[in-house]
Structure formats: C-alpha cells, structure tokens
Amino acid sequence: MIRREITSPDGTKAWLLVSQVEHARVSGELTRHWHEEFTPDVIEAIAHHDDGWATWEAEPKLNPETGAPFSFLEMPLPVALAIWDHSIAAVARFGPLASYIVAGHFYKLLSESTQANDPLAVAWLTATRKLRTVWLDNWVRADPAHTLDYSKRAQHMLMLADLFSLWLCCDAPIEDGQENILGQSAMKLQTGALFNQFHFAVPDFRADRAPDADRLASLNWSVAVHPYPCKTAPFLLSAPSIAAPAERYACWQELQAASWPVELKWRLVDGRPAAGSAS
C-alpha cells in the first residue's frame, strides 16, 4: 500500500492510501501505450506484478507506532517475501517470461537493499535465482524468436513502468514542502534511473472537493514528461484511492469507517521545450 500525507480542504492532515494492485495496473497501462511495443505476456506481467498484495490489502496491518497502515516501504521482510511469492505465482498464467521478469524485479529490489544479507533474504535470493534460470530457459526454447535481448528489455520496462507509476502515486506534487517519498526511501537508487532518463514537471494541479462535503473528491495533475514516452499525447491515467484523517487508528476497520474515496487523475503531455526557448 502506498501512503502519503496530504492536507484536506479544511486544513487538517489526511492519509492518502493507494493500493499496490492499482499502482501496478497503472504501470501496465503505461507499458501498453509505451512508444516501444511489448508482447501481451510482458504487458500483463507488468500490470499484475503486485497482485500478491491483494490479500494483505483486504485488511492491512497498522503500524503500532503511528496507527497508520504500513506502507510498501515499511513491510517486515517475512511479510514482503510472502507477498512477492504470491505476486510471482499470480503471473505464471501469462507464461515463463512473465514469471522471469516479475521474480527478477523483486530479486533486484532485495539484492540492492540493506536487508540483502539477512538469512531469509539470502535463502530467497538463492531459490529465486534458480527458478529464474528455469523460466528463462523454458521461454527461450519455446520459440526461436525469443531472444535474451528481448527478455532484458522486458525486465527493464518493468522497472521503468513501476518507478514511473510510483512517482505518479507517491511524489507527483500536491503542495509546497511535501515529503519526497521515493527520494528519501531505500528505493532512491532505483528512482535515480528514472530521473536520469526522464524529466518531469507539473504545470497544472487541481484538487476538487466533493459537492456535498468539505473534503477531497479528486486530485488532478497535468504532467509534462520529456522525452515523451507514450504513443499518444495527451495520455490519461487514473486510479482510485481512499483518504482518511491522519490519526492514530486502533484497527483497519476503524480507519475504513473514517475514510472516503478520492480519484487520482494524471494527464501526461509532451514536455519538450518549445522551439526557440531555453532548454
């Protein structure tokens, strides 16, 4: 689950909560409309690479220190590994390349983390490395057109689409002085790869209130991206989320009772500098 703090129209603080499953769906939509064509198994793998979160998110555990749901950046290692295993299993229906890249995505995250030397992590990395070898071999042998170059491009696309979607959900600016969630997290090294390739700007942002209440109904961003990566411009994306007052909750049911839906909407546009302007 993605968790960020926002300010409600009445000036109070609130938690904005976005499902990992929904975030992954957004990354799949980005891949589907990317300037480079990818096969359906890769697109579906990327769109479903966080399906293992579904059971946990049905009743998320709360951090006892804050009373807020654990974010995806705060998960205890045993819980994270179980979620990853379920995500890898969920994409098996799309074929061995799907299993290979989703497992590789989590393998990279863990191997580059501060927990990489934990005995649980070492065991998981060893087992996953062996499985990935089998999946890649099965995929390559299935068709002469299957190349290692394509598998590498598919793996890179998963990372890129994941980071792109995470930036939209976590860090697309809402207010001045907001926390840079990804840049201050253990994922800052991976996020650097995104910002080395793309420049993001938000020329327009609008927060809409619900007509019958003094609370947010939707958050709307215009995001200028350069170089522009999608087949069409503008390109519209959206995801549901919920908001709840940023309070100390005793359980998920209490938070749910205090929450309301907020629609997240992004309009991606070509961010290339106008002819004759300064770069």
Q: For each of the chain's 279 residues, which pLDDT tens digit applies?
A: 999 999 887 888 999 999 999 999 999 999 999 999 999 999 999 999 999 999 999 999 898 888 898 999 889 999 999 999 999 999 999 999 999 999 999 999 999 999 999 999 999 999 999 999 999 999 999 999 999 999 999 999 999 999 999 999 999 998 766 667 776 666 766 777 788 899 999 999 999 998 877 789 999 999 999 999 999 999 999 999 999 999 999 999 999 999 999 999 999 999 987 654 444
Q: Is residue 277 part of a domain?
A: no
Which tokens go with 254? 């209490």
Beta partners for residue 267, in sequence order: 222, 236
pLDDT at 274: 64
pTM as predicted: 0.94
Count of domains observed in the chain: 1
pLDDT at 267: 98
pLDDT at 212: 76
Q: Could you tell me the sign of the dihedral formed by the alpha carbons of 50, 52, 57, 58, in that order? A: positive
Q: Is residue 276 part of a domain?
A: no
pLDDT at 278: 47
Range of the domain at 192: 2-270
Q: Is residue 278 part of a domain?
A: no
Q: Is residue 275 part of a domain?
A: no
Beginning with the edge strand found earlier in the chain, give each strand of the sheet holding 13-18 in spatial order. Answer: 2-7, 13-18, 235-245, 260-270, 216-226, 199-209
Q: Residue 80's closest CA among 111, 103, 106?
A: 106
